[in-house]
């Protein structure tokens, strides 16, 4: 087998074939497990990145994920075979999944102007509900763990070439049994699939995952993203405030029952959503039975989905079959077929091969963006920015004296903070957002600690004569008042 200079040949008792992908916290390897009488099977090994392995907080997060998923035994959840320790480096051994992420499936169909058939949509969502319900019902010594996935999205629903759907990536799942705790006011997940209460950094329960399933169902019915906006702040505003259009308003041919299910799951009030994934699954199965009775196709719903997968991914099915045959036979690999892009293993390849797509055959491969602070209340943030700008402008108009005597800097030297930092990720990417636990100050409250730092224009000026500063009269009303 071929490996790059930074890829280990063995992890524990497993022979490593190559690197599948690298994320913000862990790296994934394709490996093989050998046994008596020629037993051989491909597995995926998830190992915490070496430079993070010494950080106790990351080790706790990794072990928490392992403890959660190893106890979820359900055909619609990716299976974990083993939690191992290789000379102090902990790793997870998972089943290798032959298929594609739902994100990749939607992308390929969109490229040819197609959507998944209604029966396939209902089949995927029903199986996702079944897998999530098994996770939500997880207990320890008879006590419910209150597990919430918190990152349900098309990237974390995996569709096998056989037509089966599986939930993957419990890396940021919330449960009462975790050693690592999410800091108060911290938001984790993908903004465009978060429930409103999750965006607001409120406590979440299983109904947050129901909302995410509603977003996915809506997007599969219309073939269009529901909450995609220009930046993260606008995405959060759309999730919390903007009206949700019914799928039929965006696409002419939408099954009315599936539309009703989607809109119920998308209720902003969690009390109006389905109380459990199992309750949502019942209605999806009922709709699926009706669609099957009306269909002229002799195929079952999972067979129809499998036909779609084979038709649109024939190239990748063949490449993966060849790769797995080489792994079983111990032959050299020249190409690793990863999530959405392949990794070429050759002398010309970089010393660190890495995948760039969805985790496919994985649990968690989420690029971790640096934490950044944004207002908790979106509308208050907009008012705050306007108030600061108007206040600075008013001060500048009333006290235009010399630079050294101005009580506040010119407007251009202290711009209002932008809605998002340059280079911030797109809505579909997972990030961590730290939201202040206290409420945003109103325009009439003190802003001595909230205003951006004042800077002075760097230009040579003669030292002004020392004169008493001109008193500045403060506005008595409007956005310019800060007292």
For residue range 360-417, what is the model confidence (pLDDT) as tens digits? 333 333 333 444 444 444 444 444 444 444 444 444 444 444 433 344 444 444 444 4
127 and 245 share a domain?
Answer: yes
Distances (CA, A) of 400 to 390, 392, 397, 403, 471: 15, 12, 6, 8, 11
Domain that holds residue 401: 369-418+427-455+474-483
91 and 122 share a domain?
Answer: no
Helix axes 232-240 and 378-398, enclosed angle (nearest 10): 120
177 and 319 share a domain?
Answer: yes
Number of helices and strands (H, E) in the chain? 12, 16
The lowest-confidence range among 48-52, 248-252, 413-417, 439-443 is 439-443
Work out the average pLDDT over 214-232. Answer: 96
User: Is 119 part of any domain?
Assistant: yes
CATH number at residue 59: 3.30.200.20
DSSP 8-state symbol, 271: G
| Whole-number pLDDT of residue 277 | 98
> What's the CA gap between 30 and 93, in Å, rounded?
10
Catalytic residue among 64, 151, 232, 302: 151
Of the three residues 329, 359, 391, the one that is the final residue of a domain is 329
82 and 185 share a domain?
Answer: no
User: Is 204 part of any domain?
Assistant: yes
Is this structure's pTM higher than 0.75? no
119 and 192 share a domain?
Answer: yes
Q: Which of 372, 368, 454 is nearest to 419 (CA)?
A: 372
Q: Is the dihedral of CA 432, 438, 444, 448 positive or negative?
A: negative
For residue range 104-146, what is the model confidence (pLDDT) as tens digits? 999 999 999 999 999 999 999 999 999 999 999 999 888 999 9
| Whole-number pLDDT of residue 471 | 54
Question: Which SS3 state, helix, strand or coil, does residue 258 take?
Answer: helix
Evaluate if residue 422 carries a pLDDT over 50. no
Of the three residues 75, 96, 117, the one that is the final residue of a domain is 96
Catalytic residue list contains 483? no
């Amino acid at each position: 087998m071929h490996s790059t200079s930074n890829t280990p040949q063995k992890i524990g008792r497993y022979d490593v074939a190559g690197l599948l992908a690298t994320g913000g916290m862990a790296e994934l390897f394709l490996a093989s497990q050998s046994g008596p009488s020629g037993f051989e099977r491909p597995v995926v090994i998830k190992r915490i990145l070496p430079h993070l392995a010494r950080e106790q907080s990351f080790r706790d997060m990794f072990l928490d994920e392992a403890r959660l998923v190893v106890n979820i035994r359900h055909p619609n959840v990716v299976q974990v075979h083993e939690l191992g320790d290789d000379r102090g480096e902990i790793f997870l051994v998972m089943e290798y999944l032959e298929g594609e992420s739902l994100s990749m499936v939607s992308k390929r169909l969109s490229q040819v102007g197609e959507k998944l058939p209604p029966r396939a949509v209902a089949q995927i969502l029903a199986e996702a509900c079944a897998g999530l319900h098994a996770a939500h019902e997880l207990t320890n010594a008879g006590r419910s763990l209150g597990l919430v996935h918190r990152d349900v999205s098309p990237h974390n629903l995996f569709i096998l070439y056989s037509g089966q759907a599986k939930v993957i990536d419990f890396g940021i799942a919330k449960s009462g049994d975790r050693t690592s705790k999410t800091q108060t006011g911290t938001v984790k997940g993908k903004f465009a699939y978060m429930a409103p209460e999750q965006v607001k950094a409120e406590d979440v329960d299983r109904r947050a995952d129901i909302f995410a399933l509603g977003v996915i169902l809506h997007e599969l019915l219309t073939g269009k993203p529901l909450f995609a906006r220009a930046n993260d702040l606008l995405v959060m505003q759309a999730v919390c405030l903007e009206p949700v259009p019914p799928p039929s308003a965006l696409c002419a041919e939408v099954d009315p029952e599936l539309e009703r299910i989607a809109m119920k799951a998308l209720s902003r009030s969690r009390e109006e959503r389905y109380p459990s994934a199992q309750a949502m699954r019942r209605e999806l199965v009922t709709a699926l039975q009706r669609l099957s009775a009306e269909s002229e196709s002799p195929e079952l719903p999972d067979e129809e989905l499998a036909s779609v997968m084979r038709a649109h991914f024939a190239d990748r099915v063949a490449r993966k079959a060849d790769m797995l045959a080489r792994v079983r036979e111990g032959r050299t690999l020249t190409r690793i077929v990863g999530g959405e892009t392949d990794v070429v293993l050759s002398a010309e390849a970089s010393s660190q091969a890495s995948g760039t797509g969805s985790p496919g055959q994985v649990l968690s491969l989420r690029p971790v963006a640096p934490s950044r602070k944004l207002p908790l209340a979106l509308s208050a943030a907009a008012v705050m920015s306007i108030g600061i700008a108007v206040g600075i402008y008013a001060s500048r108009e009333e006290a235009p004296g010399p630079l050294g005597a101005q009580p506040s800097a010119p407007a251009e030297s202290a711009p209002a903070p932008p809605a998002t930092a340059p280079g911030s990720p797109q809505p579909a990417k997972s990030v961590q957002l730290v939201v202040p636990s206290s409420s945003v100050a109103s325009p009439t409250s003190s802003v001595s600690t909230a205003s951006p730092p004042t800077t002075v224009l760097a230009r040579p000026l003669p030292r002004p004569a020392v004169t008493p500063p001109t008193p500045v009269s403060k506005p008595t009303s409007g956005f310019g008042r800060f007292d």
